[in-house]
Structure 1
């Protein structure tokens, strides 16, 4: 019998960030002998972003463990339905139900401190007279809300290098909930001030995930990289690789 191939880990970032947020996790995964792909998510809306990440997954020759942080959790909920995805890992993320939007899930719980720190900026939409709306976080509020336990110098850099999220991402519904058919793990960031941790706990519990909780800000990959890497490795081990 041939050995089970080791999965490639695909790391999906969230809103107001980019793939560099995984900079401290990637070395731990590669040191464990894993192939890693960390694409740049367009952050243009759940439908388009999930389609893009699905194309990334289909380009991987072999099984995939799919990881999503924050809004990236909503993205992997849809893209995780791809046939070669073997497991899902949510990091301080949104685990949507089929037909549910971010706004609907989040609206069941009190707002985090993020709500009054959001800034809205129009951007041109090719072929349309109506502009889109980009959502970002006020630069002076970003460190305290997103990265309270990350080095201040790094948090300041992250604050001015945000990748905004198109506002429509909050209202687009998940077309499928991949956690219904794929084994899933969830990490709750207990000191999260970006997403109410109760949103994370609720979504994970509803999905029946294996769940861990760490005392961390929203950017748990930078604040607690070893805890994140170990959870991903647990998901990898579950595939039999």
Structure 2
């Protein structure tokens, strides 16, 4: 297959994590003949993060299968409008509609237990007299909430190497919803204690996605990499690649 005709899978991580969370999925995808990119998301704000990921997508020659985990689902909801995006895949993610914020979507369902474990830390904002606020998960609560079925030694590393999310990202409304025009797939992590699985189900059903459920913690990419890869491959096959 010519290089430009082979799809590139762009893996978008979420809050409290980084691209290394896809470490077990990437080999599955490359073994199947797909090219992969897993960029670092700034996690500074929904619109800004989506603009950054959109710039990554535009630099890809050829079609893109765009995958978002958790908050990354909200990011791909915006960035997925790029012309070369052929499909969207949500992994335990937020599928926002136009005008809806993360807080609004999540607020319609019982809390997962994450809220009481969040830690708020100020950070400097260049050119502004006011600091921003970073949100992370208390280190001692992270393994049980985020990674209950991940090896304990790895979960401990993940807990102390979180990539926080700026608090403003929770309140920013989505200006567009790429799933309106792009075929979409969604994975529900049915044992998720970070996002209420019903939030995932609701967003996916509303978007008319092809949906699967996996008995997994929030970090489904690390605990069930083959199931994640198979869903991505299904999206690629269904779009003619």
What TM-score do you get using the length of structure 2 for normalisation? 0.98
Counterpart of 1:46 in structure 2 is 46
How far does residue 238 in structure 1 lie from its aligned partner after superposition? Answer: 1.1
Counterpart of 2:125 in structure 1 is 125
Counterpart of 1:89 in structure 2 is 89
How far does residue 4 in structure 1 lie from its aligned partner after superposition? Answer: 8.9
| Local SS of the residue matching 1:33 | coil
Aligned-partner Cα distance in 2 for 1:12–1:140: 25
| Local SS of the residue matching 1:30 | helix
The number of equivalent residue pairs is 240
Structure 2 gap ranges (5+): none
Aligned-partner Cα distance in 1 for 2:123–2:60: 33
How far does residue 113 in structure 1 lie from its aligned partner after superposition? Answer: 1.1
**Alpha-carbon displacement from aligned partner over 1:100-139 (angstroms, at most 9, x marks no partner):** 0000000000111101000000000001110000000000
Aligned-partner Cα distance in 2 for 1:239–1:97: 23
Counterpart of 1:240 in structure 2 is 240
How far does residue 3 in structure 1 lie from its aligned partner after superposition? Answer: 11
Counterpart of 1:34 in structure 2 is 34
What TM-score do you get using the length of structure 1 for normalisation? 0.98
1:179 aligns with 2:179: yes
Counterpart of 2:105 in structure 1 is 105
Aligned-partner Cα distance in 2 for 1:169–1:177: 16
Aligned-partner Cα distance in 2 for 1:120–1:216: 27
How far does residue 5 in structure 1 lie from its aligned partner after superposition? Answer: 1.6
Aligned-partner Cα distance in 2 for 1:185–1:97: 15
| Local SS of the residue matching 2:17 | coil
Aligned-partner Cα distance in 2 for 1:82–1:4: 17
Native 8 Å contact 1:189 1:218 kept in 2: yes
**Alpha-carbon displacement from aligned partner over 1:147-199 (angstroms, at most 9, x marks no partner):** 00000000000000000000000000111000000000000000000000000
Aligned-partner Cα distance in 2 for 1:115–1:213: 24
Counterpart of 1:76 in structure 2 is 76
Native 8 Å contact 1:4 1:240 kept in 2: no
**Alpha-carbon displacement from aligned partner over 1:27-73 (angstroms, at most 9, x marks no partner):** 00000111000000000000100000000000000100000000000
Q: Which stretches of structure 1, 4 residues or more, deviate above 6 A after TM superposition?
A: none
How far does residue 12 in structure 1 lie from its aligned partner after superposition? Answer: 0.1
| Local SS of the residue matching 1:111 | coil
Root-mean-square deviation (Å): 1.1
